[in-house]
A and B are shown apart, each in its own frame.
Chain A
Amino acid sequence: MELRINQKAYQVDADADTPLLWVIRDDLGLTGTKYGCGLAQCGACSVLVDGNVVRSCVTPVAALVGREITTIEAIESDEVGKRVVATWVEHQVAQCGYCQSGQVMAATALLKHTPAPSKAQIEAAMINLCRCGTYNAIHAAVDALAKQEGA
């Protein structure tokens, strides 16, 4: 099947029910998207599908034919994603960093839909787990991005 990932077409030889996560990590070598739980619990595997955040560890690859998939590797090609990354660095969000690809994807999806989200909207959208406890830094970074937009 053909998948469009990061604005490139890939011919993928995988069973229809293979989770997207393992196709992008093992077949395509895009390891920025992480495996954390395999159950859509943690969000480390978050990618964008047509601009919406999706947990790739439970998303069958066949469902994505004809859709536009964006992974963390291409995040800076996106205007919003680029600002998110810059703000993540500015706010020194990451600790171990393992969940941060997913956090950046979630923040990018939020801001693409809602350029100046409220505190409640940030809380509703930024639900990925972080064992290092970077939640306050994440919230501050998204809040700063929301204010940039509002200003």
Chain B
Amino acid sequence: MSILNELLDAPVNLSRRRFLASTAVGALVIGFGLPLGSGRVQAATAAERGTQVPAFLEIRPDGTVRLLSPFMEGGQGTHTAMAQIVGEELDADPATFIVEAAPPGEAYVVMENGMRITGGSMSVRMSYPTMRRLGALARAMLLQAGAKQLGVPVGELTTQPGRVVHAASGRSLGYGELASSALDMPVPDPASITLRDPSQFRWIGKPVKRLDAYDKSTGKALYSIDLKVDDMLHAAVQHAPRLGMTVGSLRNQPQVEGMKGVHSVHVLPGAVAVVAERWWHAKRAVEAIQVDWQEAAADSTLRVMPADFSSDKHFDFLAAQQGPVRDDENEGDVAAALKGGKTQLEATYHNQYLNHGQLEPPSALARFNPDGSLDIWLPNQAPDMFRADIAKRTGLDPAQINLHSPLLGGFFGRHFLYDSANPYPQAIALAKAVGRPVKLIWSREEEFLRDVLRPVAVVKFRAALDDKGLPVAIEAVSATEGPTEALAGKQGDKIDPTAVEGLSGKSYAIPNKRIAQIYVKGAPMLGYWRSVGNSLNDFFYESFLDELADKGGHDPYELRLHLLRDNPRLTTLLQAAGELSGGWKRGPFTAEDGTRRARGVAMASPFGSHTAAIAEVSIENGKVKVHDIWQAIDPGSIVNPAIVEAQVNGAVALGLSQTLLEEAVYVDGKPRARNYDLYPILGPAQMARVHVRIVESGEKMGGIGEPPLPAVAPAVANAVAQLTGQRVRSLPLSRHTFS
């Protein structure tokens, strides 16, 4: 921190030449002696964040701008958004940007919460002012360089996209012509920078085209799995059937070693590996190894999967838990109001485990260099955390670890630091063992075996209605383990917000409410899954709210409006969804094609944004068919409406997938499915039409990637209940029969 402060007191002057000579990636900042030794990310203060301009930007002679972004691109469009934000203030067309993920390092900690992760739908909303300022600082440096080169006072200069202009003399210089001197200029005092008036925005708030669209349509985009270095070997693994088990003996090692293309066979913690010249040979050989697996040792540090674990039985176990109960929200006098209400209602809900199912199987490429340093390429959502973990595992100094973050072939929460679910420790061990670079790819089957799961909960609701049929009390007690609790292996001092979000944080004016958790540690290792706790909890709460509406004789849309009557922001949002759908119409009704249909509504307030969704469903061959989803989203303000709309489509798809058909079922401690054949994910035939309305309330900016997911499941379930009279209290719907 102190060094950073000194750097800021004295204007930073990182030489562009040094930047280029270092080929970026880490060496620049290290060369400047910033305290990176620990591998920790030390957050700069708000005033300091994102001010080391040369660490982020390289302007090439042709005017192309290379931006090293703190965030990972995995489809959510963050690279394009960053180009828009920086380009707006730099005065450079985002189309002239090349954006890549920055290496680990403090310079890239730009989020207002002092973290650097790509998750929680945080990238844009947590870095927006900082990244704007970064662009503005760079523009100021270009202006200074222009003043020097043209020999005029800087005050006489202005910019046009990509150019410094001296209007008085009609002279101008392209950014590319100025870059060599500009990035040697001192970085101006951030306090001296004036940002552009939002009314003058050219790119922020506009449907700017994605920077990666062409490369991703022609196979040119490179993901971790595609990378290759000289002299590289390929590796495949076979994991223990249950986490925690260890390798006893290999019955046929000599035979496997003799198989075509095999370089060597290795025993790893809880896995065996084959290294080969080609991955196909490695995969075939590793699958041929006959391993005697041993039960986990009593002192195993892993979460041991018991041989008798069944996910279906786990729901019964969760339902049977009585406590201890910890309150997250408790307002009014819930016990008295429940007793005193005119009508009481109780219901129990649960959800299912889920896999991430990102289409790119995990991989890692590790290379030890002659100087003892390590280059590692791997999918990740948190480079500093991964580097620190690698340092811990290898004993290397973080400065000796060059961590590269290629494009992600989908992530949805899959690529956080999960101790037992990442291939890089294996890749590093293998590269060390064979003395050559190794790329390890987990087959789809190994991925399904070791993926961390979306948590499950059994939630018991109680509620009371007054004599008008309006809710006066609601209580939800969730028997569950949140993903953060699972990663910690224990309950924290406070409730894990990722366990109860979506039950907690509701805005409905119900005077007496209690949201509580019974912490129940389960068997499978858990992780974050797009929209995290909201992905289950909004299904529970918004479905039960419809039950209350029905019990009280109220229309569910009208009841929500009533309960939000003092909340203009959410009232506007709900009305926007209603309007988008052509006016709220619950049904059942007969559609033009003769099918009987109904609609359901639900809301959610995840990750700083608010959403309202309406679903239209019918029953086709005993199964639920979702025809349309109308979704209104209020993220406060936005950067790219086209990408927002794409993200809503994507979140709806994943939301429908978990609603209609997806579930990770465990029997005898093993996943029933090891590939998409037995773990179906939403296909094009099940996709609904998606209609999006973006409501920019001007409130604090919220997230985009996750918020449009949680309202989908309850909107569909509520529509199904209205159409069939069947109230579904568990997912997926494929477990239920409809007529």
On A, residues with C-beta under 8 Å from B are 15, 18-19, 22, 25-27, 29-39, 41-42, 44, 71-73, 75-76, 85, 88-89, 92-101, 104, 123, 126-139
Contact of B217 among A39, A93, A133 (CB under 8 A): A93
B210 within 8 A of A: yes
A89→B213 contact, CB < 8 A: yes
Smallest Cβ distance from A135 to chain B, in angstroms? 4
Contact of A134 among B219, B223, B407, B646 (CB under 8 A): B646
On B, residues with C-beta under 8 Å from A are 74-77, 209-210, 212-223, 225-226, 228, 234, 260, 278-280, 357-361, 407-412, 441, 443-445, 642, 646, 649-654, 675-677, 681-685, 687, 689-690
A94→B219 contact, CB < 8 A: no
The 4 nearest A-B residue pairs measured at CB? A32-B219, A133-B653, A97-B216, A96-B75
B218→A133 contact, CB < 8 A: no
Report A-chain residues with C-beta under 8 Å of the C-beta of B411: 96
Instruction: Give A86 to B500 CA distance when docked, in angstroms.
Output: 45
Contact of A98 among B228, B359, B654 (CB under 8 A): B359
**20 A–B pairs (Cβ distance < 8 Å), ordered by A:** A26-B234, A35-B361, A37-B675, A39-B676, A73-B218, A75-B218, A92-B646, A93-B213, A94-B75, A94-B216, A97-B216, A97-B221, A98-B358, A104-B217, A126-B684, A131-B359, A132-B650, A134-B649, A135-B683, A136-B689
Instruction: Give A18 to B283 CA distance when docked, in angstroms.
Output: 11
A123→B684 contact, CB < 8 A: yes
Report A-chain residues with C-beta under 8 Å of the C-beta of B213: 88-89, 92-94
Chain B residue with Cβ nearest A86 = B217
Chain A residue with Cβ nearest B358 = A131
Chain A residue with Cβ nearest B689 = A136
A133→B280 contact, CB < 8 A: no
Majority SS at the chain B contact face = loop
Instruction: Give A141 to B533 CA distance when docked, in angstroms.
Output: 34
Smallest Cβ distance from B83 to chain A, in angstroms? 15
A35→B225 contact, CB < 8 A: yes
Smallest Cβ distance from A61 to chain B, in angstroms? 10
Beyond the given A29-B228, A36-B359, A96-B410, please list 19 additional residue pairs across the A-B interface where CB-CB is below 8 A: A22-B280, A31-B222, A36-B361, A39-B675, A76-B218, A88-B213, A93-B213, A94-B75, A96-B359, A97-B212, A97-B409, A98-B409, A123-B685, A129-B681, A130-B653, A131-B412, A133-B651, A133-B682, A135-B649
Instruction: Give A37 to B690 CA distance when docked, in angstroms.
Output: 28
Contact of A88 among B75, B217, B358 (CB under 8 A): B217
B677→A135 contact, CB < 8 A: no
Given A96-B358, A127-B684: A32 in contact with B675 (beta carbons within 8 A)? no
A96→B676 contact, CB < 8 A: no
Instruction: Give A137 to B685 CA distance when docked, in angstroms.
Output: 14
Chain A residue with Cβ nearest B646 = A95
B684→A72 contact, CB < 8 A: no
Report B-chain residues with C-beta under 8 Å of the C-beta of A41: 675-677
B212→A94 contact, CB < 8 A: yes
Chain B residue with Cβ nearest A93 = B217
Instruction: Give A95 to B226 CA distance when docked, in angstroms.
Output: 18
Instruction: Give A129 to B220 CA distance when docked, in angstroms.
Output: 20
Chain B residue with Cβ nearest A22 = B280
Max count, chain A CB within 10 A of own CB: residue among B222, B279, B654, B683: B683
Report B-chain residues with C-beta under 8 Å of the C-beta of A139: 684
Given A32-B220, A36-B361: A22 in contact with B278 (beta carbons within 8 A)? yes
Report A-chain residues with C-beta under 8 Å of the C-beta of B217: 85, 88-89, 93-94, 97, 100, 104
Report B-chain residues with C-beta under 8 Å of the C-beta of A30: 219
Chain A residue with Cβ nearest B448 = A37
Instruction: Give A75 to B279 CA distance when docked, in angstroms.
Output: 26
Max count, chain A CB within 10 A of own CB: residue among B223, B280, B407, B690: B280
B210→A92 contact, CB < 8 A: yes
Smallest Cβ distance from A106 to chain B, in angstroms? 11
Contact of B279 among A15, A22, A92 (CB under 8 A): A22
